[in-house]
A and B are shown apart, each in its own frame.
Chain A
Amino acid sequence: MELLQNLGHGLGIALSPTNILLCFAGCMLGTLIGVLPGIGPIATIAILLPLTFGLDPTAALIMLAGIYYGAQYGGSTASILLNIPGESSAVVTAIDGHEMARQGRAGIALGISAIGSFVAGTIATLVIAALAAPLAGIALIFGPAEYFALMLMGLAFAILLARGSVLKAVLMILVGVLLSTVGPDLTTGQLRLTFGATWLADGIEVALLGMGLFGIAEVFRSLEHGEARQVRETQVGRLLPGRAELRASAKPILRGTLLGSILGILPGNGAVLAPYASYTLEKRLADNPRRFGHGAIEGVAGPESANNAGAQTSFIPLLTLGIPPNAVMALMVGAMTIHGIVPGPQIMTKMPDLFWGLIASMWVGNLMLLVINLPAVGLWVKLLKVPYRLMFVGIVIFCCIGVYSINNEPADILIMGALAVFGYGLTKFGFEPAPLTLGFVLGRMMEENLRQALMISRGNPMTFVERPIAAGLILIACAMLTVAILPVIRKGRDEVFSE
């Protein structure tokens, strides 16, 4: 009852004319920058921060939060239509989403990702409203040992994620882990694998990997095959998912929402795992896993919902503990401090207007995004009719601008170019870039948490066995690896390279 009262109170604030307008502006802007490859919510929020000085803090945060989850919506549009994932979460959506677009089912893919995101956003909002405080306490049980075990489990996902050969997937993961070790060592501060180049001194941004390995490499592939290959120009099919597709997606959406809501709570950026976990789960549960990678709608519905739920619940560590789980949330801390709000445990009790207003606005924002995005699907799909000779120029330019906007570092554009050539080579030899990206995202966190856990336990590896959650996660990882590798061993070499 108190929950409903609080939410009602929040809705009262979120539905004031100014706040609705700002929420709409944020969602709209977020969608736009999400669609534009590379120009992510971080750059946008940083640039807009000073403009919010004059606003009331609640209104400012409502708008900035709108940009954040709006960008999550928009990001999937770019990965589905053009195979340009601007961040690691969208990589998963691109796998089956872009395949659907190629088959002329772009509208359905976009529609299901909008609907899935809305359902996930609605449920996650309720989760935050009802359980934020107790959940935050549970998240604190996660120490370095548990995070290490979680990341290990994530890498096991990466192997299951692969379409083809297990061996190739493992190699790709290792390359990803290797790339993640470029930059300063956490425990000594010494630079690793930079070969004395200052532009490598802080490692490689994940957005470069996404845009290089996927986006630009995709441009190479398309140009190689000429425009004839592009289904884009011919027909785009139905615009919205039909009843059968909705039915097929319902359970993946709910499972994805659950996974995303749980992983999003972890302050150590557990949300990055959510879409990968959801994809793996759906692939395992499917009657015919071979459809995955060839335009399976569950492979879009599940991860998209997981991603949006995770994006939403990652506000929990920020609002209840004052701990920002990722770079965007760190910016929200900056925004709060500029407005004189100290993010932390006291927000919920001392500033109920802000807390409940923001939460209610998330739901309002998700509704707006659905309303903005569903009619826009037709518009986006029309974009595919733009002749590819014009389109690829635009893609390349926007990727360059996007990459430059991250660190204002010209060398990043060259790195992206090199990665694109590498990514093109990979697909030529039948390697997939998706496991590489996950290896990259998890590699650094895994290494750092491993070393922290061992430093805390004074070098005793038993810490991973003695701590029940860590031990449980490592067991699951081992079980998944066995599932992935057993058929390979049993069926002999012939089957090794095609799962």
Chain B
Amino acid sequence: MDKQMIRLECKQLVRSKWVQIVTVLFVVIFISILMIQHLAMPDVTGFTRQSASLLNILLFLLPLFMLTIGSMNIASDVETGWFGLLKTYPLKVRHYTMTKYIALCSVFSGIVILAISMALLIGGFLGGIRLPLYFVLLTVMMIMIFNAISLLIGSLAKNRLHALAIGLGIWSLFTLLYSYIVMAIGTVVAEHILRKLVMVLMHLNPLEWIRFSYFLWSKQTAVLGPAFYDISTFYQTLVGIGVYMLVTAVWIVLPLSMTSIVLKNRGQK
């Protein structure tokens, strides 16, 4: 991978108006919710409506931004012929994918760091805010997973509009439709079947996986209810941690590998 190329990609992303608007939006909402939590609520460690709001901001907004920006970025390269031009150079598709991936991860990490630093700065005048480390790590994990998925979407799209459409579709599926479908199934199947279904499907939706990770890392799995006691306990064992890391790695590596394969095939055609 060429550092110059990563730098170039980062430059293009930072200069993008879309990314700039997204940054302002994210920072404002993130700080607002954190401040409301800090000022209006007693200092508690449990899962509150405010901490849920903060988590939902991450779960709602970040994937939306990443899926649209990332997918359109790579689709744009294909659409404008930039990708075709790059292929005339001795550049492997794998390297191209990784360059894009690292650039996207860096820029989104920058947005999150900006939001956190602003929150810390403001909170520093108000007695300090409580921002757990697991929350920051969870954000990093989210950035790594959803940027990988966004590249896959971009590689599958024919053009930028197509990428945007698929990106929004996948986002709504992950955030809303998926849960509604599972809840709807729950109305017609027995409770024990629904429980197993949720447990399986939690691994198949990266958003649900990240949400489950939040409860796991913050040691608040009790919020999920008694039905999920066994799986929560399992993921706290040594084997469970191994499986957890494997599932997370699959959600990063699989989309990236598929992106490389798809782009390679497109290049050959």
Q: Are A and B associated in one complex?
A: no
